């Protein structure tokens, strides 16, 4: 099972700052079990975003929906009409859910509202919903290696270069400026390659009994 936790509210607010109508989509499977992105958590986040953006003087329309499983196209069809009406999608699923929505609804940008135990801080908001860790043969985070040719990976010419896909995706969305932003070095100690990572929900701790 994939375990996740919501990104900080300020980070989510920054991601949706340029959009007026935001659709927050939850997932009814893994992230519901770990109390991170199910229907209840979607409702809480939507309420928090509505209050926070209103206090900031922003007039945003933030709507909510939850599907049974974001990693399956058939379930996402249930919210297809709402997605068409939204300016951006904020997914409270794991990275697979974010990438599935990106593939299924390429005309919309899908942003990650969660970090998972496996990956740590999710960067899909800056790469057009295409994961450089999963899609790049070398798992490069800062751009292509320089060995790709005509959009194909130098390791396997039958594979598309992940960074070519990211570039094409951001260009289609008119968001190429995201590639110019300088990001801090990724803290691998919070990710799968840095050893076990723990997510502790203090709000779900049981009080000790004598």
Question: What confidence tens digit (pLDDT) does each residue in 123-181 have?
Answer: 999 999 999 999 999 999 888 999 999 999 999 999 999 999 999 999 999 999 988 88
How far is 191 from 194, CA to CA, in rounded Å? Answer: 6
| DSSP state, residue 201 | -
Q: Which two tokens stand for residue 24?
A: 């927050």
How far is 97 from 113, CA to CA, in rounded Å? Answer: 11
Q: What is the three-class DSSP state of 70?
A: coil
Q: What is the three-class DSSP state of 98?
A: helix
How far is 21 from 104, CA to CA, in rounded Å? Answer: 19
β-pairing verdict for 21-27 and 88-91: parallel
Class of domain 4-126+183-201: alpha beta
Q: How far is CA 159 from CA 142, 147, 162, in A?
A: 19, 13, 9
Give the Cβ contact number of residue 6 at 10 Å. Answer: 19
How far is 197 from 188, CA to CA, in rounded Å? Answer: 10
Q: What is the three-class DSSP state of 156?
A: coil
Query: pTM of the entire structure?
Result: 0.86
| Tens-place pLDDT, residues 49-99 | 999 999 999 989 999 999 999 999 999 999 999 999 999 999 999 999 999
Domain boundaries, given as residue ranges, for the chain: 4-126+183-201, 128-182
Q: What is the three-class DSSP state of 12?
A: helix
């Amino acid at each position: 099972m994939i375990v996740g936790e919501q990104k900080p509210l300020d980070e989510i607010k920054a991601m949706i700052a340029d959009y007026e109508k935001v659709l927050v989509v939850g997932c009814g499977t893994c992230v519901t079990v770990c109390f991170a992105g199910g229907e209840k958590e979607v409702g809480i986040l939507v309420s928090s975003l509505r209050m926070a953006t209103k206090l900031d003087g922003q007039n945003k329309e933030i709507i909510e929906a939850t599907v049974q499983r974001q990693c399956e196209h058939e379930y996402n069809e249930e919210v297809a009409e709402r997605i068409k009406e939204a300016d951006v999608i904020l997914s409270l699923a794991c990275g697979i859910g974010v990438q599935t929505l990106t593939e299924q609804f390429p005309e919309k940008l899908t942003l990650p509202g969660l970090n998972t135990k496996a990956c740590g801080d999710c960067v899909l908001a800056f790469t057009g919903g295409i994961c450089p860790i999963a899609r790049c043969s070398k798992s490069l985070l800062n751009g292509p290696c320089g060995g790709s040719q005509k959009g194909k990976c130098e390791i396997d010419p039958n594979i598309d270069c992940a960074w070519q896909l990211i570039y094409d995706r951001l260009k289609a969305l008119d968001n190429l400026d995201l590639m110019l932003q300088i990001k801090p070095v990724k803290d691998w100690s919070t990710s799968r390659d840095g050893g076990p990572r723990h997510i502790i929900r203090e709000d779900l701790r049981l009080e000790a009994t004598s």
